[in-house]
Amino acid sequence: MATRGLVVYLLTGFSVAVLSVLFINNSPPNAALAPPSILSSSSENCNILQHPVGSESRIWPELRFGWRIILATIIGFLGSACGTVGGVGGGGIFVPMLTLIVGFDTKSAAAISKCMIMGASASSVWYNLRVPHPCREVPIIDYELALLFQPMLMLGITIGVALSVVFPYWLITVLIIILFIGTSSRSFFKGIEMWKEETIMKKAMAEQEKTLVNSRGELLIDTEYEPLVPKEEKTALQIMSFNLNLKKFLVLLLVWICFLLLQIFKNDQAACSTLYWVLNFIQVPVALLVFGYECVKLYKESKKRRLEGNQDLICEAAIQWTGTNLAFCSLCGILGGTVGGLLGSGGGFILGPLLLEIGVIPQVASTTATFVMMFSSSLSVVEFYLLKRFPIPYALYLMSVSILAGFWGQFFIRKLVTILGRASIIVFILSGVIFASAITMDKRVSSLGFLQQRRQNNRQTLSPAAMVLKTELCRFSGTKIYPGKGIRFVRSDSQVFLFANSKCKRYFHNRLKPSKLTWTAMYRKQHKKDISQEAVKKRRRTTKKPYSRSIVGATLEVIQKRRTEKAEVRDAAREAALREIKERIKKTKDEKKAKKAEVISKSQKAGGKGNVPRGGAAPKGPKLGGGGGKR
């Protein structure tokens, strides 16, 4: 009944939020908040997929010691520790932390959040492999449930990426807050029920230990029974080998590799091309093939045991694997991946509460959800690395913090559960992390909305409300195209072109240059524009004489001869060459001295014959014109 109530609540909330898009106008300030995309395309040919509405520029702060990095380390450590214990990862806490405190943009914060989730999940899985099952002699990781949910989770990530491009960011935030509040409330009430059951069980065990009656009717007080053959203690290596099912682990790894190759090939294709959509839709049969195989296996085994009257469980889930339950699990797996694609978190926000809802004990639910989340988050991290979407130093630092937090969080919480004997602590931690994620998402949207409104007020101080028209640009002339105007042309490769009028479209098909004639140098030359400036440029223009260099190479015989000759011969040749250079330099100097001496001798001879001594004044001649003086 509680599960049906949760489903009705989620469907009602989602329907109201989606239908509100038809009545609420998405204003430009809200459009500046970008939704985080997980596996976005790197092509540049499709404006819708490559540049979604509200995409923001990349902001990567510098990694340096300060209060921001200290606070991020503390929050990241606590979020990773609690997130891995609850099996949710903690992406709902990491993304607001990285955007509001550290200062990353939304897409980079989502990428680094995936790195932190991968590190925490890997260390948590490594610790859990060394922990035995608390109740049964089976692996603590339920591989049947992992094979059931992992393909649908990865398929949901692809759907979440597509929806993050189409949906406005406020709608994504509303949907996630509705989902987080519903799942956290349901997990909290589930934890209260488990707490009450554990309390009743503890009281019953305490009364049973006080008073026991044997088969002969004798009263036994405070008697402890020990088995005749003590239970063999297993080493950590034996527990790890027992918990690790290599066959099913390789199947999960094969599915992971298939999705990774499809994503890599898809990113190399032009967006909106035929091959792009083919690679997108190939993920559906791959996921359905693995999911269908596991569904058929669980359905047949469950039906066989029901007919035989066997009450043993096939896996850790305490439900009958009917067609309805299998369909419900598939929808929940897709929903978990969609949330991961929209928010940049792991699918544990859906998978963790779902495993508890179908009857899995908290220890196994946390371990299985973390195990599945390790595959989905690592797939996103590899994709982000290929797209260069996060800074390596920040990612390595925060991932190392998450690795330590995941290991020690599992260690302390497992010890606490063993000491207190209450597994419901894990459920309360799960509910608390989901509720904290909902609160941080709300605060983050409020903070970003306040900042964006402040920027808008600084830009537009005159008119508080202004009408904004969505305009396009002509592909040929670059002029604006208003709504209802222009001509749209779709090429055979699915690329869309917009033109202002038929003339631009005709010029485009005729392959003319999209430039005006009045801008060209030919037009200015024909109409004698800037003649004086051109003349000045020509006068200032200097012609450089070409300088040719000759390349002198050596033949093969000369090279072999030089290789085989002895060192004494090389030294003698080197000394002869140096001697020749010195003689040439000496000869040049002697020639210059001889020329200088010749010039000096000629100047001395010319000075002896002349009437004007060097440095002296010339003698005054007789006056040629008489008269003019006193008599």
- CA-based nearest residue to 41, from 291, 229, 269, 255: 269
Q: Could you give the domains of the chain?
A: 2-213+235-457 (no CATH), 473-526 (2.30.170.20)
Q: What is the pLDDT of residue 151?
A: 84
* DSSP code for 21: G
Contact indicator for 369, 87 with CB cutoff of 8 Å:
yes
Q: Is the pLDDT of residue 204 over 70?
A: yes
pLDDT value of residue 50: 36
Mean pLDDT, rounded, of the chain:
73
| Model confidence band, residue 576 (pLDDT cutoffs 50, 70, 90) | very high
Query: What confidence tier does 144 reach under pLDDT thresholds 50, 70, 90?
Result: confident
> Would the pLDDT of 299 be above 60?
yes
Which residues are CB-neighbours of 175 under 8 A, at least 6 positions away?
13, 14, 17, 18, 167, 342
pLDDT band, very low/low/confident/very high, at 536 (cuts 50, 70, 90): low
H helix or E strand, kind and range, residue 433: helix 424-459
The whole-angstrom separation of Cα 540 and Cα 544 is 13
Positive or negative, the Cα torsion across 251, 161, 169, 389? Answer: positive
Segment among 148-157, 282-291, 617-626 with least mean pLDDT: 617-626
In the numeric block, the tokens 């929806």 are attached to 163
Does an H or E element contain 597, and which?
Answer: helix 567-609
Whether the predicted pLDDT of 583 surpasses 90: yes
Give the model's pLDDT for residue 236.
74
Q: How many other C-beta atoms are found inside a 10 Å radius of the C-beta of residue 34?
A: 19
CB 389 within 8 A of CB 449: no
Give the pLDDT of residue 22.
Answer: 60
Q: What is the predicted pLDDT for the residue at 47?
A: 33
Q: Are 395 and 110 within 8 A, CB to CB?
A: no
24: number of CA atoms within 13 Å, CB side?
14
Cα 182 to Cα 341: distance, rounded to the nearest angstrom: 19
Measured CA to CA, the distance from residue 479 to residue 523 in angstroms comes to 22
Residue 532: band (very low, low, confident or very high) from pLDDT cuts 50, 70, 90: low
Query: CA distances (Å), 480 to each of 164, 483, 501, 509, in order?
Result: 28, 10, 11, 20
- How many beta carbons lie within 10 A of that of residue 21, not counting itself? 13
Pairing of strands 472-473, 480-481: antiparallel
Which is higher by pLDDT, 82 or 539?
82
Sign of the four-CA dihedral 119, 122, 126, 129? positive
Q: Are 98 and 72 in contact (CB under 8 A)?
A: yes
Please tell me the distance from the alpha carbon of residue 67 to that of residue 333, in angstroms, as a whole number. Answer: 39
Q: Check pLDDT > 70 for residue 404.
A: yes
pLDDT given for residue 586 in this prediction: 92
Question: How big is the CA angle at 360 (ends 296 and 322), to the nearest 5 degrees?
Answer: 30
Q: Taking residues 187-205, what's their average pLDDT?
A: 79
Q: What is the CA radius of gyration of the chain?
A: 42
Which residue type is seen at 460?
Q
Residue 299: which of 151, 144, 149, 155 has the closest Cα? 144
Q: With a cut of 60, say whether residue 453 has pLDDT above it.
A: no
Greatest extent of the chain over all pairs of C-alpha atoms, in Å: 181
* Secondary-structure breakdown of the chain: helix, strand, coil percentages, each rounded to the nearest 5: 65, 5, 30
Question: The tokens of 591 are what?
Answer: 């020639």
Contacts (Cβ under 8 Å, ≥6 apart) of 531: none
d(Cα 121, Cα 217) in Å, to the nearest integer? 53
Residues 6+ apart with CB under 8 A from 346: 88, 89, 91, 114, 117, 121, 340, 373, 376, 377
**Rounded CA gap, 43 and 605, in Å?**
88
- Global pTM exceeds 0.75: no
44-69: pLDDT as tens digits: 333 333 333 334 467 788 888 888 88
pLDDT score of 384 more than 70:
yes
% of the chain residues with pLDDT over 90: 3
With a cut of 50, say whether residue 37 has pLDDT above it.
no
Average pLDDT value for residue range 415-427: 77
Q: How confident is the model at residue 456 (pLDDT cuts 50, 70, 90)?
A: low
pLDDT for 582 equals 92
User: Bridge-partner residues for 300, per DSSP?
Assistant: none
Whether the predicted pLDDT of 256 surpasses 70: yes
Tokens 């053959």 belong to: 229
